[in-house]
Every structure is written in structure tokens, then in C-alpha cells.
Amino acid sequence: MPPTTPPLSDIYLHWGTEMPTTSTRTLTIGTRGSALARWQTDWVIARLKIAWPELDCAIKLFQTSGDKILDRPLPEIGGKGLFTEELENALKTGEIDLAVHSLKDLPIDDATGLTLGAIAEREDAHDVLISSDHYTLTSLPHGARVGTSSLRRSAQLLVARPDLQLLPLRGNVDTRIRKALNGDYHAIVLAAAGVLRLGLSHHITEYLSFEVMLPAPGQGAMAVQCRAADHSTLDLLQPIDHLATRLAVVAERAFLNGLGGGCSAPVAALAAFQLPTSNIQLTGLVASLDGQRVIRLSHEGNDPIEVGTDLAQQALAQGAAELIK
């Protein structure tokens, strides 16, 4: 367990002192129907059952707007909330007790009445290249077709390889990999976490270094969302909340928030909880869409919100506002 850090009322969950009662409790957990979403939900259930063997869990599947609209890039159709709105509405009405998300899909601001009851230990935060011809980023042919609908990935790819032809890529992890293997693209870029969780690591051609490709805020982390006033459920989630991951992603999301929240400009961030100092070390990036201008900087401190906010102010002072516009 990491050393105790100063209490932060906006971050830490204050658990009750009474042991949760699970003998007659059934948690209804909402999730999207993709293979990755189901894997993540099954992981949460398995960990909850280890902590509370008598707990019953039921799964309710949802199809979000982001799952239905696959012919346009996300920034054109509303951004990250498209993957979470239906689940959040079901939480608010009491239809479900928990919703499991990839944290990078969640908007920065908590929906009214909801909170992140647990943030699980982070998987590998790298981005990876997948190519049927086993290309690496440096060996891709001139003008190669690379699939991604992420502005963050596109901008950083163009920094390294301005000659690349970047093409839209939507769909679930397995669908995207199938498109790469079918030859629709010379290569595609995905988050390592989803590929690893689905047991598809044999398709990875290259792990892109953080110097080449800084991840999205929260990439690789799973979030379990619940009602803020549902204290019994918050207590049940305590064993799967990973403090070091929570502190890191809070700093990353504070950086994004400090730049203006859900801006559509290419923004990346990666933080780490440092021992023995108990500090948060954060690297952030803002880039132009064409990759011609990149602001990359780092900051360290013991309050993750302050670290993220301060780094955003430094980026704005260096001209990030122009890139965000």
C-alpha cells in the first residue's frame, strides 16, 4: 500500500466503518456489449466475489450511441459521452447499481449524483501498432495507410511520420484488428490495454514508446461508476479501488480539465505515483492537428489536482489555447 498522502476531499472516498451486508444483496451492473466491455465487467465481478463471496451480481447490457454510430469520427458526433450516457441514465434511475467503463471514455466532470466508486489497477498504458505485414512505425512504407480515429494518435503519428495517410477507424477492438489483418490498412493503432485484456497480444507488431505516443488521460484504467449517495455500494467497491492508479488518473484528468475539459484538440497525459516521495509525476502534451506544433511538459507534486491544473496552466502559457481552438 502506498504511503499516506495528504487528504484530498475531492478525491478520496470516505468509507463507512460498518461491514457491508451482502447476504441479501444483488448488484445490477451495467455494461456495453463489446467483448472488451464484457471482459472488464467480468473482471470487476470476479474481484468483488473474492472480497464478498456471498454477493450476487447481475449484468445488464446496453448499446450506447457510440456503439451505434460507426461511420463518423467521435469528435464529429459528440465525443466521449456517447459511450456513457445511457449507462449513466440507468444509474440515475436506479435501473442498475454500477456501470463499468474504460476510464478514458468518461467525460471529465462527474454526472450529477454519480461518482467513481472504484478505479481498478491500471493495465499497460501504451499504444500499440498492429500490422498484417509486421510493419513497425519506422518501417512503414512512404505514404502508408494507418487507421485511427483519435486526433491524439493522429497528431503524434504525424510528428514521427509526416508522410503517413491517416484513415478513420471505428469499431470494437476485435473489429479493428480484423480490418488490419484484412489489409484495409498497412497498420492500425490501438490502446495496448484492450488488446492485452482480450488475449490478442500476438497481433501486436510494436509497442509505441511514450516518447513517440503519449496516451490519453486515463488510458488503461477501468472505472466503476455508482450513485454518490449509495454508501453501501461504495463500501463494497473499496477492495478494488487502487489508490496509486486513482491518484495518477486524477492528475491526468485535471490536466485535461485545466485545458478546457472535453476539448477535441490532440491532448495526451500520463502520470505515475512515485515512491518513496508519494509525489505524482505528470507529463502532458497538446499538439496541432497536423503535428507541426507540439507542447510537451512535465510537473511533479503531492496533490494530483494541483499537479494537473498547474501543468495545464503552463501549457496554456506556452500557447496551448491556440491549439485547442
Q: Which of 12-21, 177-186, 311-320 has the lowest mean pLDDT?
A: 12-21
> Structural domain boundaries of the chain?
26-120+221-241, 127-208, 252-324
Q: Are strands 127-130 and 187-191 parallel, antiparallel or unpaired?
A: antiparallel
Q: Which residue reads 479501488 in cell numbers?
A: 241
Task: End-to-end CA distance of the chain: give it in Å, rounded.
Answer: 41
| Mean pLDDT over each residue of the chain, to the nearest integer | 88
Q: Looking at residue 105, what is its pLDDT?
A: 84
Is residue 65 very low, low, confident or very high in pLDDT (cuts 50, 70, 90)?
A: low
Measure Cα distances from 163 to 142, 154, 169, 229, 290 in Å. 6, 12, 18, 52, 11
pLDDT in tens, 241-293: 999 999 999 999 999 999 986 666 799 999 999 888 899 999 999 999 999 99
d(CA 235, CA 219): 25
What pLDDT score does 162 carry? 97
Instruction: Identify the pLDDT of residue 15.
Output: 37
Neighbouring CB atoms inside 10 A of 220's CB total 26
What are the residues whose beta carbons fall under 8 Å from the beta carbon of 199, sequence distance 6 or more?
Answer: none
Residue 54, all three cell numbers: 456471498
Residues 243/107, Cβ–Cβ less than 8 Å: no
Instruction: Output the CA–CA distances (angstroms, integers) from residue 228 to 29, 38, 112, in the order listed.
Output: 16, 24, 9
The reply to whether 127-208 shares the fold of 26-120+221-241 is yes
* Cis check: omega of the bond before 276, within 30 degrees of 0: yes
Averaged over 88-111, what is the pLDDT? Answer: 92
Check: CB of residue 123 under 8 Å from CB of residue 193. Answer: yes
Q: Give the pLDDT of residue 325.
A: 78
User: Cell triple for residue 30?
Assistant: 451495467
Which of 21-35, 55-69, 215-229 reaches the highest mean pLDDT? 215-229
Q: Phi and psi of 173, rounded to 5°? A: -55, -50
CB 204 within 8 A of CB 134: no
Quick one: pLDDT band at residue 6, thresholds 50, 70, 90?
A: very low
pLDDT at 154 over 50: yes
Residue 2 has pLDDT above 50, yes or no: no
Considering only the top CATH level, what class is 26-120+221-241?
alpha beta
Task: Report yes or no: 117 and 98 within 8 Å, Cβ to Cβ.
Answer: yes
Instruction: Kindly state the average pLDDT of the residues 100-114.
Output: 90
Average pLDDT over residues 101-127: 93
Per-residue confidence band for 25, with pLDDT thresholds at 50, 70 and 90: confident
Lowest mean pLDDT among 106-110, 187-191, 296-300: 106-110
Q: Which fold has domain 127-208?
A: D-Maltodextrin-Binding Protein; domain 2 (3.40.190)
Whether 176 shows a pLDDT value over 80: the answer reads yes
The band of 20, judged by pLDDT with boundaries at 50, 70 and 90, is low
Residue 206 pLDDT: 98
The band of 43, judged by pLDDT with boundaries at 50, 70 and 90, is: very high
CA torsion 73-75-81-84 (nearest 10°) is 20
Mean pLDDT along residues 299-325: 95
Nearest-angstrom CA–CA distance, 315 and 152: 16
pLDDT of residue 19: 47
User: With pLDDT > 70 as the criterion, what percentage of the chain qualifies?
Assistant: 85
- CATH code at 252-324: 3.30.160.40
Catalytic residues: 105
Cell 498492429, residue? 130
